[in-house]
Amino acid sequence: MSDDILTQAARWRDEGKPVALATVVETWGSAPRPVGSQLAVTAEGAFLGSVSGGCIEGAVIHAAQEVMAEGRPRMLDFGVTNEQAWEVGLACGGKIKVYVERLN
């Protein structure tokens, strides 16, 4: 499935759209998507793939907009002990690290 995500990311770039890639790099506990799971997103907010069961995608897409603008990769931490995670509701109780980078 990640095939389609990277193919789509390349296609979006070909259309001249800014694109960011988010990748799950570490998980603890009952994380919904395994390490290596990816999501591609455009500046317009169109996205394909997933890094959780839907709990943190909103926050990741938001952060991706900033990464696209700044160009510097960023590591995002989500977990039950993290205030941000409560806000976005990581209901499973797991913890995940998501690496967000711009596709240059």
Partner 1 sequence: MERSLLDRLAQDRAAKRPVVVATFLDTGEQRLLYLQGKENTQGIDHAIAEAARAAIVADKPRTIDSAQGKVFLNVFNPPLRLILVGAVHIAQALAPMAALAGFDVAIVDPRGAFATPDRFPGVSLHDAWPDEAMTALKPDLRTAVVTLTHDPKLDDPALAAALRSDAFYIGALGSKKTHAARLGRLAEAGFPEHELARIRGPLGLAIGAVSPAEIAVSALAEIIQVLRQAGPA
Residues forming contacts to partner 1 in the complex (CB under 8 A) are 1-3, 6-7, 9-10, 13, 21, 23, 25-26, 34-36, 72-73, 75, 99, 101-104
Nearer Cβ to partner 1, position 6 or 88? Answer: 6
Nearer Cβ to partner 1, position 67 or 85? Answer: 67
Nearer Cβ to partner 1, position 4 or 87? Answer: 4
Helices (H), the chain: 2-14, 57-70, 83-88
Please enumerate in sequence order all residues whose Cβ is within 8 A of that of 101, keeping only pairs 6 or more positions apart, or say none.
Answer: 20, 21, 23, 67, 73, 74
